[in-house]
Amino acid sequence: MKLGMLTACLPQLSLAEIAAWAGETGYEALEVAAWPDTGGRDFEAAHLPVAGFDSRAADETRALMARHGLDISALAYYENNLHPDPARRAEIHAHLKQVIDAASALDVPFAGTFVGRDWTRPVADNLAEAEKVFPGLVEYAGERGVRLVIENCVMEGWHPDGYPGNLAYSPELWEWMFSLGLYLNWDPSHLTWIGIDPVTTVAPYADRIVHAQAKDLQILPGKADRYGFFGKAVRREDPWDTGWWRYRVPGRGQVDWNAVVDALYEHGFTGTLSVEHEDPVWSGTEEKVKTGLEIAHRTLRPLIVA
């Protein structure tokens, strides 16, 4: 197992700057954010120019990683592959294919994304639509030696009522998506707030957990008694603010990282555990984000066999 980090939390830095810092800090791998360069939200960081990615760019990227003793564990483009707008969906699929091409050029085994959801239609319709959409994408990736990995994030902010916007949040849905040739980028934080014990999900799906993310989650005392499981309803200016929980860096929330890492080892996980920093306490400035990543490193590094 290697300890890595997702670069999306530092959108203002270049990949070279992140690689230098991550190597010095003791990280072993980068999950590289590969959104288009639109200057958008933090999780739309563009750290690899996958459009027109050629052999020269691949060689330069490999040399950069080698200088800092790092691997690239996966390329990250977490977008809605079932977007209700056909034009937007086509854009997403086109960019995902560019991400896959870049991963193949770099010999990176995984490209990360979401199943997503058309929030104007019921779940059953979405599952049927995904069964049409994903086989072609899985085939495209497979022909290039890349596997598509799906993060089990609920993406409640994508749905107008705060319901799941990514149909990959539960073991029931994992089994369905595995039948489409997809794999899992397993993140225990999302399981924690929807009432699933993350440790119990490792053994049954160990052969499909090929990459993992390390993000913690803090349940705010007493808040669920006011808002209920589905979160704020009357004054929810931020679609991502449920009011009763928040993401934290590993070691600052409810996740039992000793148990998580032990379960991954016990069931044969040999991939990268990649820190995904979305902690509001350690956000807002480059210095605070890096401090959060240092906290995560200090929490997880002693648990991972050198």
Q: Do 114 and 80 form a contact (C-beta atoms < 8 A)?
A: yes
The encoded tokens of residue 250 equal 């590993």
Q: Can you give the CATH number for the domain in which 95 is found?
A: 3.20.20.150
Asked if residue 165 belongs to a domain, the reply is: yes
In tens digits, what is the pLDDT along the chain, a chain of 306 residues? 999 999 999 999 999 999 999 999 999 999 999 999 875 544 479 999 999 899 999 999 999 999 999 999 999 999 999 999 999 999 999 999 999 999 999 999 999 999 999 999 999 999 999 999 999 999 999 999 999 999 999 999 999 999 999 999 999 999 999 999 999 999 999 999 999 999 999 999 999 999 999 999 999 999 999 999 999 999 999 999 999 999 999 999 999 999 999 999 999 999 999 999 999 999 999 999 999 999 999 999 999 997
pTM (whole model) above 0.85:
yes
Look at residue 44 in the predicted model and tell me its pLDDT.
Answer: 74
DSSP one-letter string for 87-155: HHHHHHHHHHHHHHHHHHHHT--EEEEE----TTS-HHHHHHHHHHHHHHHHHHHHHTT-EEEEE----
Contacts of 62 (CB under 8 A, 6+ apart): 106
Distances (CA, A) of 14 to 49, 67, 83, 208, 294: 11, 15, 29, 32, 19
Asked if residue 244 belongs to a domain, the reply is: no
SS3 call for 249: coil
Asked if residue 228 belongs to a domain, the reply is: no
Return phi, psi of residue 111, to 5°.
-120, 125
The encoded tokens of residue 294 equal 């240092």
Measure the CA–CA gap between 138 and 278, rounded to whole angstroms.
29
Q: H or E stretch including 262? A: helix 257-266
Q: In terms of C-beta density within 10 A (0-12 exposed, 13-18 middle, 19 or more buried), how is residue 39 classed?
A: exposed
Task: Write out the residue range of the structural domain in which residue 145 sits.
Answer: 2-215+255-303
Look at residue 42 in the predicted model and tell me its pLDDT.
Answer: 42
Asked if residue 274 belongs to a domain, the reply is: yes
Asked if residue 283 belongs to a domain, the reply is: yes
Q: Do 236 and 162 form a contact (C-beta atoms < 8 A)?
A: yes
The encoded tokens of residue 198 equal 């993350």
The size of the chain, in residues, is 306
Tally the domains of the chain: 1
Measure the CA–CA gap between 288 and 219, rounded to whole angstroms.
22
Cα 265 from chain centre: 20
Look at residue 37 in the predicted model and tell me its pLDDT.
Answer: 82
Look at residue 39 in the predicted model and tell me its pLDDT.
Answer: 55
Question: Residue 71, by phi and psi: left (phi above 0), alpha (psi -120 to 50) or beta?
Answer: beta
Q: Do 137 and 131 form a contact (C-beta atoms < 8 A)?
A: no
What angle do the packed helices 15-25 and 286-300 form, to 10 degrees?
40
Asked if residue 221 belongs to a domain, the reply is: no
The CB-based long-range contact list for 13-22 (8 Å cut-off, 24+ gap) reads 13/286, 14/47, 15/47, 15/48, 15/61, 15/64, 16/64, 18/47, 19/64, 19/65, 19/67, 19/68, 19/70, 20/68, 21/290, 22/68, 22/70
